[in-house]
Amino acid sequence: MKRVLLLGGVTEALALARRLGPQHLYSLAGVGRVPTDLTCQVRVGGFGGAQGLEHFIREQAIDLVLDATHPYAAQISQNAAIAAQSASIECWALRRPAWQAGPNDDWREVSDWAELITALAPFQHPLFTLGREPLQHLDEIPDHQFWTLRALDAYPGNDRCEIIGARGPFLLDDERALFARRKIDVLISKNSGSTATEPKLEVARELGVPVLVLKRPVLAKVDREFLQVGELIEALSLAGFL
């Protein structure tokens, strides 16, 4: 029986995991919720780099690695491609298309934290939706800025920063209310391409608020790439995995 190792961490990966039978494995890093209602096996935690993953693939007699991780999770994607190649099996990936700026959007791409801070200087009330990274910089908030930071879990803030713990999907009206309450004048976002987190971009567009977009990392080359989960399910079925 052919066996898939599905690397997850995003909504589409869970949708895919729900289609997998009991011989298959769904792997999570352990930062988000772990589903308890799946037919396939679920494992949580790192493998110990590309080498550890290769060892795991051989030990568990995996036939195919499916990388359905977040577009900014570049390390595990690279490890998956290297480990699959070393173990002489294929690696397929679900690569979510990026959001595209429309004519009424003011998006400014930044490559890293240093560029982001420079681009942020003219603003007073940024909303960070990058995950936990800004937490390391709470002592560096310039005098003229008051930050709002949204991450998966709540953390203590300070008098210059409110930290909101929240998980998508986010509703348009709630995003509008957040922008109004915190007087947001700039949004900082990854380009995740997820519909669950897209409403914040619509609010920025409505209000004419600029968006600083953290550039997507370049991901490792794999044997096959899919943009939609449906296409991937079809290919798995054709190849006899489902």
HSE-CB at 9 with a 13 A cutoff on CA atoms is 24
47 binds ligand NAP (CB under 6 A): yes
- How far apart, in whole angstroms, are the C-alpha atoms of residue 184 and residue 88? 50
DSSP 165-183: E--SPPPHHHHHHHHHHTT
168 binds ligand NAP (CB under 6 A): no
23, 75, 86, 145: residue in contact with ligand NAP (rule CB under 6 A): 75
Pair 166, 150: CB distance under 8 Å: yes
10 binds ligand NAP (CB under 6 A): yes
- How far apart, in whole angstroms, are the C-alpha atoms of residue 21 and residue 82? 26
210 binds ligand NAP (CB under 6 A): no
Nearer Cβ to ligand NAP (10/203): 10
27 binds ligand NAP (CB under 6 A): yes
Q: Which one of the spans 71-79, 84-92, 117-125, 226-234 is the region binding ligand NAP (CB under 6 A)?
A: 71-79
Pair 56, 46: CB distance under 8 Å: no
7, 89, 203, 222: residue in contact with ligand NAP (rule CB under 6 A): 7
CB of 82 to ligand NAP, least distance (A): 11
70 binds ligand NAP (CB under 6 A): yes
Which residues have a Cβ under 8 Å from the Cβ of 130 and sit 6 or more positions away? Answer: 188, 189, 190, 214
Nearer Cβ to ligand NAP (32/157): 32
Task: Give CA torsion, residues 36, 38, 44, 47, to 10 deg.
Answer: 170
69 binds ligand NAP (CB under 6 A): yes
Pair 57, 84: CB distance under 8 Å: yes
Which residues of the shown chain bind ligand NAP in the complex (CB under 6 A)? 7-10, 27-29, 31, 46-49, 52-53, 69-70, 72-76, 79, 131, 190
